[in-house]
Homo-oligomer: A and B are copies of this chain.
Amino acid sequence: MGIQERKERERERRRQDILVAAKRVFSDKGFERSTIEDIAREAELSPGTLYLYFKNKDELYASLTVRVLQFMSVRLAHAIEEPGLNYDRKLANLIDAMFDIYEFDPVILNNMFHLQSSETLRDLSPELIEEINTLSRKSLRTIAAVFQEGMDEGRILRRHPTALADIFWSMFTGSVLWKETKQMIGNEQYPLKESIRLGFSLLDKGLRQQALDA
């Protein structure tokens, strides 16, 4: 049984190595131009070996997304787990967490967007799709829960918490996307963090306008 377990662990470890290699290659060459062989070389394995760990290229792509989603899930949970935090603190922590997630894998959005194209999803195993779905929902629920608390604490307006989480997430991904586009087209630096902070702060303030709103 111990042997079984060790093998299992080693297998998982190798899988992670491949994913890390893939991430590096994608960062370097972009998705379209990255080949299985590139990734294999980066992972110091042969192309064939990759297929022992991933059904096909799309599953490998998708697994990268899972990796990010797992990190996101953990990181977000961590952001709010400390007991005794009020809405203000938790929101601030969430925002910090988003930056960490971005830095964990700046290519995350390319990744997820790539995944979206129905072509790619078509060949994914249902289990993987389910895993992505579950992880996404979990993170979204964490965010929504914070807004819920804000409402319960009477600090912010009552809106559908999930809707607010959607907006929170959209603003974040939209900003990252826009940063990329601007840099690519205009060759200019984009102050991503400042922009996101300003956006989040405006959203937050907008939610607090109880007096004017009612």
State how many angstroms separate the Cβ of A148 from the closest Cβ of chain B. Answer: 16
Interface size on A, residues (CB 8 A): 57
Q: Given the complex, which residues of B lie within 8 Å of A32, measured CB to CB?
A: 117, 119-120
Decide if B173 touches A118 in the complex (CB within 8 Å).
no
Question: Which residue in chain B gives the minimum CB-CB distance to A135?
Answer: B185
Write the nearest CB–CB distance from A171 to chain B, whole angstroms. 5
| CB interface residues, A 159-214, toward B, < 8 Å | 159, 163-164, 166-167, 169-175, 177-178, 180-182, 184-186, 190-191, 194-195, 198-199, 201-209, 212-213
Is A31 a contact of B117 with CB atoms below 8 Å?
Answer: yes
Residue of B nearest to A185 (CB): B133
Chain B nearest CB, measured from A137 CB (Å): 7
**In the complex, A167→B193 CA distance in Å?**
12
> Could you mark each residue 131-143 of chain A with 1 if its beta carbon is under 8 Å from any beta carbon of chain B, else 0?
0110011000000
Contact in complex: B166, A170 (CB < 8 Å): no
Are A202 and B202 in contact, with the CB atoms below 8 A?
yes
A116 contacts B by Cβ under 8 Å? yes
Q: Which residue of B lies closest to A156 (CB)?
A: B202
A112 at the interface (CB under 8 A from B): yes
- List, in ascending order, chain B residues with CB within 8 A of A175's CB: 166-167, 170, 174
Check if A129 is an interface residue, CB within 8 A of chain B: yes
**A36 in contact (CB, < 8 A):** no
Footprint of B on A, CB under 8 Å? 29-33, 110, 112-113, 115-121, 129, 132-133, 136-137, 159, 163-164, 166-167, 169-175, 177-178, 180-182, 184-186, 190-191, 194-195, 198-199, 201-209, 212-213
